[in-house]
């Protein structure tokens, strides 16, 4: 039977519902029928709601409250059916709005209700007066830009859907929480709403964890691509020789061949090796770096290829070697020339057959590892001296890449300096003004025998010794000022304003060390001194002699003997 009229809620008819409430105070319980209830502070709920909105945003918070109301709507529909078995459809239905009122959530005034449980027809329009959620908005959140009676709406949807046995959706067509004059809701079967599907999504729990995991995955893939970029030889350099190396390693990265990195100590071979790895198809697999010189010869085989329990005294446990750990990825063998003959033989087998046996084991294991080897001494010479297997050398030398020393790419030095300054500023939480012009000039003319590693150490020292907002001086870069490529000492102005010869820089002991340390002969020293003196004296021999503390004939004799005079 269809019922369609404007019903009045008679609050005396509540009695069957109010009787369900039992305060069992001594037990710490309140009952509503068979459901345990809570009497809680509206303020507390308001604060909770504000926190939800602030931490998860309006849409997610709205979903939570809609679902909160939904859960209690389902239970109340069950109760209503139980309590009013012999009543009219409408009276049973009205238990819902009455319960809402009874719980102190809102006063409900039905405006229009059409119900037919047989055909499933439903239309409802109700006004909400003094919604607790509007009050929350007024006290805690401030006005919203959309209807705000979320939990009430969830309740209405669930209660009516359960009552009708089909999905009924209510919407708030106006709400005081967003500045309207009244809170009015309208309900009808889901299919009569155009955006029913979109709205129904609020009723599905939408775990924020999934979104977080998703973001985490994106973050880690961003980190990998960042690493890939940074893996490009510190990502820094414009010199021709640097570009040549970049092109070479780009080519090497694509293939599967072994790569042999050649170059002085400190040129950044491990960084290049990592860069080859990161630009290859193996980028997501392990990169394992081994310095062969750092491992005692009697342990190197076990370290690289693994060991079986009992293989030798002290091998208490079987363990995999670096090659097995690098499986699928890349292994970087620095100072490969240090490998023992047996380790060389095993490495050759890995390269040729892709298999190895652990020390003390006879089981053959397959490994798929790309080898990048490096050395700062000539492998050819080691082969000639019988220290390195020729066949292994040919195998490793398929794709040799020579990395230039820093002094051959001095134009990259300012960029490298910037890079290391950035690194150490953040590491030491400092902000210097960078190198003074003189300090930079010194760096540009210094020979850097320790290459990029030495530069890195020097900049680190400079950052440590320099205060915030001050320039890094020569003295803070180098503990002992290096003697720079025989450039004449610069003139400077002394405290009296007189132009004098600079006495700064290394004392006599330093250049003495430098000369001996670099195997410079006495003849070379003498010749360099005389040439420099002549240059400063504009080729005037008398003047040059005075600079050197010699008589003119004495200098002339020496100049003649060394063949300099004949040139000039």
Chain residues binding Zn ion by CB under 5 A are: 131, 149, 175, 177, 183
Smallest distance from the beta carbon of 174 to Zn ion, in angstroms? 8
Of 97 and 177, which has the nearer Cβ to Zn ion? 177
Give CA separation, 406 vs 153, 250, 412, 420, 567, in Å: 72, 21, 8, 15, 34
Q: How far apart are CA 5 and CA 136, in angstroms?
A: 33
Smallest distance from the beta carbon of 8 to Zn ion, in angstroms? 22
- Neighbouring residues of 359: CB distance < 8 A, sequence distance ≥ 6: 301, 302, 305, 306, 307, 308, 311, 312, 315
Smallest distance from the beta carbon of 50 to Zn ion, in angstroms? 17
Of 63 and 177, which has the nearer Cβ to Zn ion? 177
Of 154 and 177, which has the nearer Cβ to Zn ion? 177
Question: How big is the CA angle at 421 (ends 418 and 426), to the nearest 5 degrees?
Answer: 130
| Contact indicator for 172, 37 with CB cutoff of 8 Å | no
Count Cβ atoms within 10 A of the Cβ of residue 148 and give its class: 0-12 exposed, 13-18 middle, 19 or more buried.
buried
Of 132 and 193, which has the nearer Cβ to Zn ion? 132
SS (H, E, C) 495-509: CCCCEEECCCCCCHH
Give the strand order in the sheet containing 259-262.
Answer: 287-291, 330-334, 370-375, 259-262, 399-402
Smallest distance from the beta carbon of 69 to Zn ion, in angstroms? 12
Q: How far apart are CA 62 and CA 72, in angstroms?
A: 16
**Which pair of structure tokens corresponds to residue 461?**
């020292």
Of 46 and 440, which has the nearer Cβ to Zn ion? 46
Smallest distance from the beta carbon of 148 to Zn ion, in angstroms? 6
Smallest distance from the beta carbon of 101 to Zn ion, in angstroms? 15
Smallest distance from the beta carbon of 169 to Zn ion, in angstroms? 16
Q: How far apart are CA 203 and CA 201, in angstroms?
A: 5
Give buried/exposed letters for 283-299 (b at 16+ CB in 10 A, else e).
bebebbbbebeebeeee
**Which pair of structure tokens corresponds to residue 51?**
């926190």
Smallest distance from the beta carbon of 43 to Zn ion, in angstroms? 19
Of 170 and 446, which has the nearer Cβ to Zn ion? 170
- Neighbouring residues of 112: CB distance < 8 A, sequence distance ≥ 6: 4, 6, 123, 124, 125
Of 122 and 170, which has the nearer Cβ to Zn ion? 170
Kindly report the backbone phi and psi dihedral angles of residue 400, in degrees, each rounded to the nearest multiple of 5, phi listed first. Answer: -80, 140
Of 132 and 393, which has the nearer Cβ to Zn ion? 132
Smallest distance from the beta carbon of 175 to Zn ion, in angstroms? 3
Question: Residue 165's CB: how many other CB atoms inside 10 A?
Answer: 9
Of 134 and 260, which has the nearer Cβ to Zn ion? 134
3 state SS of 154: helix
């Amino acid at each position: 039977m269809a019922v369609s009229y404007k019903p009045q809620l008679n609050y005396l008819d509540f009695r069957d519902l109010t009787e369900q409430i039992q305060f069992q105070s001594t037990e710490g319980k309140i009952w509503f029928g068979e459901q345990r209830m809570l009497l809680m502070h509206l303020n507390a709920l308001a604060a909770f709601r504000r926190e939800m909105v602030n931490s998860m945003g309006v849409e997610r918070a709205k979903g939570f409250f809609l679902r909160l109301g939904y859960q209690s709507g389902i239970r109340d529909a069950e109760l209503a059916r139980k309590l009013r078995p012999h009543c009219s459809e409408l009276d049973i239905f009205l238990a819902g709005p009455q319960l809402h009122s009874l719980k102190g959530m809102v006063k409900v005034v039905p405006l229009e209700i059409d119900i037919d449980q047989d055909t499933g027809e439903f239309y409802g329009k109700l006004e909400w007066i003094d919604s607790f959620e509007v009050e929350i908005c007024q006290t805690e959140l401030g006005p919203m830009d959309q209807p705000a009676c979320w939990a009430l709406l969830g309740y209405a949807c669930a209660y009516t859907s359960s009552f009708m046995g089909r999905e009924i959706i209510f919407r708030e067509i106006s709400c005081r929480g967003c500045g309207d004059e009244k809170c009015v809701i309208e309900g009808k079967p889901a299919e009569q709403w155009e955006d029913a599907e979109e709205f129904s999504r609020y009723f599905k729990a939408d775990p924020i964890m999934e979104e977080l995991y998703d973001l985490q995955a994106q973050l880690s893939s961003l980190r990998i691509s960042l690493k890939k970029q940074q893996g490009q030889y510190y990502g820094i350099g414009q010199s021709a020789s640097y570009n040549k190396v970049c092109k070479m390693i780009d080519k090497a990265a694509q293939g599967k061949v072994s790569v042999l990195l050649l170059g002085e100590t400190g040129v950044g071979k491990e960084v290049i090796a990592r860069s080859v790895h990161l630009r290859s198809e193996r980028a997501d697999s392990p990169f394992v770096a081994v310095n062969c010189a750092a491992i005692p010869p009697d342990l190197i085989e076990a370290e690289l290829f693994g060991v079986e329990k009992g293989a030798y005294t002290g091998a208490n446990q079987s363990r995999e070697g670096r090659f097995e750990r690098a499986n699928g990825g890349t292994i970087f063998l620095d100072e490969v020339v240090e490998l023992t003959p047996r380790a060389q033989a095993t490495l050759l087998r890995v390269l040729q057959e892709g298999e190895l046996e652990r020390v003390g084991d006879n089981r053959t294991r397959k490994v798929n590892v790309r080898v990048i080897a490096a050395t700062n001494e000539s492998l050819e010479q080691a082969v000639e001296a019988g220290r390195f297997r020729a066949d292994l050398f040919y195998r490793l030398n398929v794709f040799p890449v020579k990395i230039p020393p820093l002094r051959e790419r001095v134009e990259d030095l300012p960029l490298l300096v910037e890079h290391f300054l950035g690194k150490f500023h953040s590491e030491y939480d400092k902000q210097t003004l960078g190198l003074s012009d003189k300090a930079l000039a010194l760096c540009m003319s210094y020979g850097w025998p320790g290459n990029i590693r030495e530069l890195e150490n020097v900049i680190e020292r400079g950052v440590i010794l320099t205060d915030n907002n001050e320039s890094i001086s020569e003295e803070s870069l180098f503990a002992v000022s290096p003697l720079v490529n025989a450039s004449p000492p610069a003139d400077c102005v002394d405290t009296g304003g007189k132009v004098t010869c600079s006495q700064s820089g290394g004392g006599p002991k330093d250049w003495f060390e430098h000369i001996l340390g670099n195997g410079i002969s006495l003849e070379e020293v003498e010749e360099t001194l005389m040439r420099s003196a002549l240059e400063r004296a504009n080729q005037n021999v008398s003047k040059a002699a005075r600079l050197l503390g010699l008589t003119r004939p004495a200098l002339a004799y020496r100049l003649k003997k060394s063949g300099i005079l004949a040139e000039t």
